[in-house]
Amino acid sequence: MRKTMQLQYKFLAIILTIMLSCAQYGFAAFTLEDERKLGKEFYDKLDQNNFLIKDRQLNDYITKIGNLVLAQSTKAPFNYTFSIVNSSAINAFATPGGYIYIHKGLIAAVDTEAELAGVIAHELAHANARHVASIIEKSTRLSIATMAAILAAAFLGGGGDAAAAVAAFSMAGASSLTLKYQREHEEEADRLGITYLSQAGYNPGASVSFLRLIKRHEFLSKSIPSYLRTHPGTDERIFYLEGLILTQYTHAGKDQIIGNLTRMQALVPLSTAELNVRQRQLNSALAKEPSNIDLLYALALTEDRLGQTAAALNRLQKALSLSPQDSDVLKNIGLIHLKMGNAEQARANLQKAADIDPRDEEIKLALGKANFVLGNYREALGNFMSVKTVLAGGEDINYHIAMAYGKMGSQGESHYHFGLHFKKGGKTQSALFHFREALSYFPPNSATYALISKEIKELTEPTPSRGKRPEKTK
């Protein structure tokens, strides 16, 4: 409960910051450029506060579905971004500027990929039709605050005092505007969304089956799901969509196109209680299909997160016997062996996985760790250096690179990468110590010396707008 309240207050702080900073945009004409700026600012706030899930496979999956659906639309002139919010609420929303957000709770709840695609199609329709922008343009002095409150309600899922406070602060006196959004914008988003969905090749009936799933969730949980708060009028929407399907979208479509929904759902981070429910569901499904590799994989990941390591490893070994070239299975066998201290077995499985899927950075990182433990420092360094993007969980690759260089006796490179590591963590004094130590290992006319000098200059010189950079200690 305490953690939930802390998250709610953190969300509230983000929303209030955005509301204050958005005053510069004005209230009369909300231009495309205003949308881009506001959408980007909102995205950055979520990203900076770690509210977006950074799992590469999950994000690639959502983006592939999103781009497939988007290709069927006459899209607004934005560069669209598809992101996953680290919230168990069953919800999704679009913000100005082409930003589409899907809550992890919604990904875990859907029965088919087509249902997930239907939700994304609906949100894309809101974005393409610039519905939030039209709300802002038609409002007066509360326009930006109203928009921020709508987003706050979406983020917080309608639960807790924080959401209620934001809604009360911003939406007082805007009830007619809210009702107009419900009646007109939702209908247009449904009409456009089902067109996108159908033309992408998905089963158009998935739009209705998802809404029925939401209704079942409401009945079973005895609480209103967040989706119903931000996308009201569910019964009317079901009736309207069923009419469209009967008259215009009578052809059959596919329940999956990209594939691997079950595996993707297994990657969604869940609480212990949610994992226990998921384990029961997967055990029940596996009893009917004991050789289903996706179910074996998903159950193994669930068991591993619950601390049932031996059961998870056995489950993965069975999956591997059915599919020997499955990189996901090989990777997770390697990860479990690495966690258990079996570095040699971890390396063997991870190397096989890397040969099959050389793009997977989680494999590269884990393989580097296994090689490091085994004393293969040069190989470990090569693995670490090949990791380019931000790692899940905030892990910084510069730390591992620094450790590998240190073990190899390359003290200058080790100090340099430790400096980068501490700089990234905001620990200025520690970063400066390592950068200054690194300088003594490189000739003054070398390219690396120049890079290190630049880093030191950035950390010590005052910036024009803020004065001297505050220094943090380790």
pLDDT of residue 28: 53
pLDDT of 165 strictly over 50: no
pLDDT in tens, 53-62: 988 889 999 9
Please state which of the ranges 36-45, 347-356, 385-394, 426-435 shows the lowest mean pLDDT: 385-394
CA separation for the pair 387, 105 (Å, rounded): 29
Contacts of 406 (CB under 8 A, 6+ apart): 414
- Determine the 3-state secondary structure of 3 from DSSP: helix
pLDDT of 76 strictly over 90: no
pLDDT of residue 173: 39
pLDDT of residue 392: 56
pLDDT of residue 274: 92
- Determine the 3-state secondary structure of 173 from DSSP: coil
More confident residue, 466 or 431: 431
- Phi, psi dihedrals of residue 282, rounded to the nearest 5°: -70, -40
Torsion of CA 360, 391, 454, 412, to 10 degrees: -80
Give the burial string for 102-134 (b: 16+ CB within 10 Å, else e): bbbbbbbbbebbbbbbbbbbbbbbbbbbbbbbb
- Secondary-structure percent of the chain, ordered helix, strand, coil, rounded to 5: 70, 5, 25
More confident residue, 443 or 35: 443
pLDDT of 462 strictly over 80: no
Domains delineated in the chain: 2-247 (no CATH), 396-474 (1.25.40)
pLDDT of residue 39: 84
Identify the band that residue 135 occupies on the pLDDT scale cut at 50, 70 and 90: low
pLDDT in tens, 380-403: 999 999 987 656 556 789 999 999
pLDDT of 443 strictly over 80: yes
**CA–CA distance from 414 to each of 394, 438, 454 (Å)?**
20, 8, 17
- In this structure, what token pair is assigned to residue 96? 């100005």
Residues of the chain with pLDDT > 90: what percent? Answer: 56
Contacts of 460 (CB under 8 A, 6+ apart): 432, 469
- In this structure, what token pair is assigned to residue 453? 């000098």
pLDDT of residue 177: 38
pLDDT in tens, 89-126: 888 888 888 999 999 999 999 999 999 999 999 999 99
pLDDT of residue 250: 79
pLDDT of 408 strictly over 50: yes
* Mean of the per-residue pLDDT values of the chain: 83
Average pLDDT rounded to a whole number, residues 442-462? 94
pLDDT of residue 142: 44
More confident residue, 247 or 17: 247
pLDDT of 159 strictly over 70: no
Residue 314's Cβ-side half-sphere holds a number of Cα atoms within 13 Å equal to 5
pLDDT of residue 154: 47
DSSP structure class, residue 95: E
**Burial of 261 per CB tally in 10 Å (0-12, 13-18, 19+):** buried
Identify the band that residue 379 occupies on the pLDDT scale cut at 50, 70 and 90: very high
Average pLDDT rounded to a whole number, residues 443-449? 95
pLDDT of 63 strictly over 50: yes
pLDDT in tens, 176-235: 334 344 567 888 889 999 999 999 999 999 999 999 988 887 766 666 667 777 777 778
pLDDT of residue 301: 97
pLDDT of residue 337: 98
pLDDT in tens, 251-265: 889 999 999 999 999
pLDDT of 14 strictly over 70: no
**Length of the chain measured in residues:** 474
**Burial of 220 per CB tally in 10 Å (0-12, 13-18, 19+):** exposed
**CA–CA distance from 48 to each of 62, 127, 133, 334, 389 (Å)?**
21, 23, 24, 31, 16
> Distance of alpha carbon 447 from its chain centroid, rounded?
37
pLDDT of residue 394: 63
pLDDT in tens, 265-310: 999 999 999 999 999 999 999 999 999 999 999 999 999 999 999 9
pLDDT of 71 strictly over 70: yes
pLDDT of residue 240: 87
pTM, full prediction: 0.81
